[in-house]
Structures are given as structure tokens and as C-alpha cells.
Amino acid sequence: MEEQKKRVEDHMTKMVEEIDKTYLRKMQRDMHKCAAQCCENETYSVQKVHNCVENCSSSLNKAQQYVQGEFERVQNRLQRCVMECNDDIKDKMGSNPTQIEVDRYSEEFEKCAVVCVDSYCKLLLSLEKTMKKVLSKNEFA
């Protein structure tokens, strides 16, 4: 299971880095430039500066919420899949399994979990393409 957990973490980290470097970092840079311009305007009141800065961060916040929501959605799918593997094994195992049965069912669970992780990793590739398409349209402004 540790190997599968590492595979998931590695895929996620790689994808987060790619999305950040390709899209979010540029949005963050633009947000800071915009906010700096708000602060440089000496004619603005405190409230107007605050509103201006808030407005500058709006599109980045929406993009980050979108990315986070998509990651949560696919992570929930992985968790449900693994839970289903677990439930199936519990149903098969019964109330008082022998050690041989426990070992066999543990192996069966591992195989099922690997299938879940494999499908999750494929799903991440598809999700990355979709997220890049959505982020490239810059519909968060």
C-alpha cells in the first residue's frame, strides 16, 4: 500500500507543480502587480485601496478554488474506490477468518487498491488536460 500511496503523491505533486508553473504563478504575479498599483495611487481612500487589492486577487482566488475543487473531486473518487475494495474484502472475510484467509484477502485487497490507483493516475492525466484548457481560457477574471 505504501508504494501505491507514493505513486499517488508523486502524480499529484507533479501535476500541482505543472499547473502552478504554467498558470497559477503568472496569475499570482499579475495579482501582485495589480495590488501594487492600487497601493501606489495616493488619491485612493483606505477602503478604495482595500477594494482594489481585493479585486486584483479575485481571479487568482477563483482559479485556485477551481483547481482545489477538481483535485478534491478526483481524490474522493480514489477514496471511494479503495473503500469499496475494503468493504468487498470485509464481506468475503466473515467474522472469524483464519490467518491464511487474512493473508489471502489482504493480497486481494492490495490488487484491488492497485486497480484503483491505476485508474486514478489515468484520471489525473485527463484532469490535467481539462484543467489546463479551462485555465488557459482565463475565465476567472
What tens digit of pLDDT does each residue of 86-102 get? 999 999 888 888 889 88
- SS3 state of residue 140: coil
Q: Is residue 105 part of a domain?
A: yes
Greater confidence (24 vs 1) lies with 24
- pLDDT at position 79: 95
Closest CA to 134 of 80, 85, 64: 64
Q: Is residue 123 part of a domain?
A: yes
Are 32 and 72 in contact, with CB atoms under 8 Å apart? no
Query: Which residue is associated with the grid cell 495590488?
Result: 35
Q: Is residue 58 part of a domain?
A: yes
- pLDDT at position 61: 95
- pLDDT at position 81: 96
Q: Is residue 141 part of a domain?
A: no
| Close Cβ partners of 76 (under 8 Å, ≥ 6 residues apart) | none
Q: Is residue 63 part of a domain?
A: yes
CA distance 59 to 68: 14
Domain, as residue range, for 90: 2-136
Q: Is residue 46 part of a domain?
A: yes
> Interior CA angle at 133 toward 67 and 16, to 5°?
35
CA distance 97 to 56: 60
- pLDDT at position 4: 83
Closest CA to 11 of 121, 115, 113: 121
Q: Is residue 98 part of a domain?
A: yes
- pLDDT at position 77: 94
Domains of the chain: total: 1
